[in-house]
Chain A
Amino acid sequence: MTTPRTIESAAAALRSGEASSVELTEEALERIAALDERLGAFIAVNEAGALQQAEQADADLAAGVDRGPLQGIPFGLKDILATKDQPTTANSLILDPAWGEGYDSVVSERVREAGAVIMGKLVLSEFALGTPDEEKPFPIPRNPWRLDRSPGGSSSGTGIAVATGMVLGGLGTDTGGSVRFPAAYCGHSGLKVTYGRVPKWGCVPLGYTLDSIGPMARSAYDCGAILNVIAGHDPCDPTASAEPTEDYLAGVEGGVAGLRMGVPREYFFDHEELDEEVRSATEAVIDTLAGLGAEVVEVKLPHSDIAKEANTLTMVCEAFAYHRMDMGSDRWTEYGKGARNMIGRAALYSAADYIQAQRFRSWYAKQAARVMADVDALVVPMTHEPAPAHKPPDMNRRLTMPSYAGPFNLLGYPALALPSGFSSELGLPLSAQIVGAPFAEALLVRMGRAWQQVTDWHLQAPPDDAPGGEEA
């Protein structure tokens, strides 16, 4: 099996003349033609537009115009981000087709200006929260390693497309783990950025105080390359931070020697539902980084189980405010079952519950700040188990499942999901997570790079004939 392309290797190939953007784009289109019907990654492919952009990227490079590492790279956008040349659906019959018509979101515009070849719009969970619904006219996304397993959500299509080479990088959004879950279940890297690091204008909202747009790609390095393009203030987004950006790849080869790596055992490592292989794979990340010179520091981040609940409550209540006018009307059944249940459930909370979640958030942020004052990063499992069965779990069961992603959305901290191995029984990807202080994305990319220089989990690609289809 050949090593799959990364943005890093493809960008080098484009500049050495080993490959052209048109060739990379045709490769990606071939992958889409071969796999997408079975895997359900794309809502809409823009073949003609992609080839045109690829020709332009090649012409620019030939003329000495180098826009950076995304130039000429096959790229995908979650279909929650407005694009001027394709409709935006949010994977829902509800979204007004006029929304997003004829203009780009800030991030769509930025990746376009960086010369990325936009292959099309990628599948997501409805409004970034629902579940796949066979009664609706949208593709059913499937895990590329086993078709009867979930690819994770909500940025399912981006996860599948990156894992299978339909794109070399893409964008997802993360409100409670939606960049990191599909990255984890599909076996590649995904970076949830600091709240406010990337402007959200032109992105359909889910949870206003939690949403972030982040890179998804095979490697941590590639995530840094994408972040270099999309990070930075924009006045159209009142929540966009004015904190200066930096070159997220400048120190990428700096290694981890001397870094203090916090390990919060409570909840993140001792939960009764944590899969043993996920736990031991995360321990291996810690041991390996320690072997490269990082110092392990045991830390306490109390009430992280409640932080998960505060994140969920905040997310669904904010989403319900956005959706209530449609949900409380004759359009109710135009939503999929999952979105109806997850968002409509917010009606059962009180206004005081929402405010209390924000008061808890203040308290939890202080605890986390104390921890981060003593360490450079935290290392924890990304998920509590490998990809679960494709059938959506019982909605009431979802209330009690642990989440190692949500607490960091509540905090607004950056977190990088990294492949950490495979499960022994079904060969499903495992994932760990490195979490940083606000705006520490460059450090996370550097730590991810160190891990991925001594492992090759992120370079494993699923077989084109993945098993499990007979049960899917």
Chain B
Amino acid sequence: MPVPDNVEATVRALVDAAGLPVSDEEFQSLVDGYPTLRELADRLYIEEVRYEEPALIFTPLPPAKGE
């Protein structure tokens, strides 16, 4: 997922969708960091991982005591 041309609009949409009432200063910090954040997240999509199953655990068995 390439970094979008309009970072500010993208970050605004994501922050609003999450309902975060960020200040102007906080918003600007997120905008400033977004290209790096996106670049780092995109590095997860490497060829070696193409056929991996996610390391998530789910069991259909009933919950243990205490849950």
Residues of A that sit less than 8 Å from B by CB: 201, 209, 234-238, 303, 305-306, 309-310, 313, 324, 327-330, 332, 340-341, 344-345, 347-350, 353, 355-363, 365, 395-396, 399-400
Determine if A348 and B34 form an interchain contact, defined as CB atoms under 8 angstroms apart.
Answer: yes
Determine the residue in chain A with the shortest Cβ distance to B18. A347
Which of A235, A238, A340, A362 contacts B54 (CB under 8 A)? A362
Which of B19, B40, B53, B66 contacts A235 (CB under 8 A)? B66
Determine if A361 and B55 form an interchain contact, defined as CB atoms under 8 angstroms apart.
Answer: yes
Sorting the interface of chain B by its residue count into under 10, 10 to 19, 20 to 34 or 35 or more gives 35 or more
Which of B20, B40, B64 contacts A328 (CB under 8 A)? B20
Further pairs besides A347-B20, A362-B52: 9, Cβ < 8 Å:
A201-B66, A236-B65, A310-B44, A341-B29, A344-B26, A348-B11, A349-B41, A357-B44, A400-B36
Determine if B44 and A353 form an interchain contact, defined as CB atoms under 8 angstroms apart.
Answer: yes
Cα distance A332–B36 when bound, in Å?
25
Q: Which residues of B contact A362 (CB under 8 A)?
A: 49, 52-55
Q: For chain B residues 38-64, which have a beta carbon within 8 Å of chain A?
A: 38, 40-41, 43-46, 48-49, 52-56, 63-64
> Taking the nearest CB of chain B, how far is it from the CB of A22, in angstroms?
36
Cα distance A458–B40 when bound, in Å?
36
Which of A209, A329, A363 contacts B52 (CB under 8 A)? A363
Determine if A396 and B29 form an interchain contact, defined as CB atoms under 8 angstroms apart.
Answer: yes
Which of B15, B22, B45 contacts A356 (CB under 8 A)? B45
Determine if A332 and B20 form an interchain contact, defined as CB atoms under 8 angstroms apart.
Answer: yes
Q: Which residues of B contact A355 (CB under 8 A)?
A: 54, 56
The answer to whether residues A363 and B48 also contact, given A332-B21, A399-B37 and a CB cut-off of 8 A, is yes
Determine if A359 and B49 form an interchain contact, defined as CB atoms under 8 angstroms apart.
Answer: yes
> Taking the nearest CB of chain B, how far is it from the CB of A233, in angstroms?
10
Cα distance A460–B31 when bound, in Å?
44
Determine the residue in chain A with the shortest Cβ distance to B19. A328
Q: Which residues of B contact A201 (CB under 8 A)?
A: 66
Determine the residue in chain A with the shortest Cβ distance to B22. A344
Would you give 30 A-B contacts (Cβ < 8 Å), ordered by A? A236-B66, A237-B66, A306-B44, A309-B40, A309-B41, A309-B43, A309-B44, A310-B44, A327-B19, A327-B20, A332-B21, A332-B22, A344-B20, A344-B30, A347-B15, A348-B11, A348-B34, A348-B37, A348-B38, A356-B45, A358-B56, A359-B52, A361-B54, A362-B49, A362-B53, A363-B48, A399-B33, A399-B40, A400-B36, A400-B40
Determine the residue in chain A with the shortest Cβ distance to B16. A347
Determine if B29 and A395 form an interchain contact, defined as CB atoms under 8 angstroms apart.
Answer: yes
Q: Which residues of A contact B54 (CB under 8 A)?
A: 355, 358-359, 361-362
Q: Which residues of B contact A347 (CB under 8 A)?
A: 14-15, 17-18, 20
The answer to whether residues A360 and B52 also contact, given A236-B66, A345-B37 and a CB cut-off of 8 A, is yes
Q: Which of A209, A309, A341, A347 has the most CB of B within 10 A?
A: A347
Cα distance A236–B44 when bound, in Å?
34
Determine if A313 and B26 form an interchain contact, defined as CB atoms under 8 angstroms apart.
Answer: no
Q: Which residues of B contact A236 (CB under 8 A)?
A: 64-67
Q: Which residues of A contact B8 (CB under 8 A)?
A: none
Cα distance A355–B49 when bound, in Å?
11
Q: Which residues of B contact A356 (CB under 8 A)?
A: 41, 44-45, 49
Cα distance A413–B29 when bound, in Å?
34
Which of B19, B33, B49, B64 contacts A395 (CB under 8 A)? B33
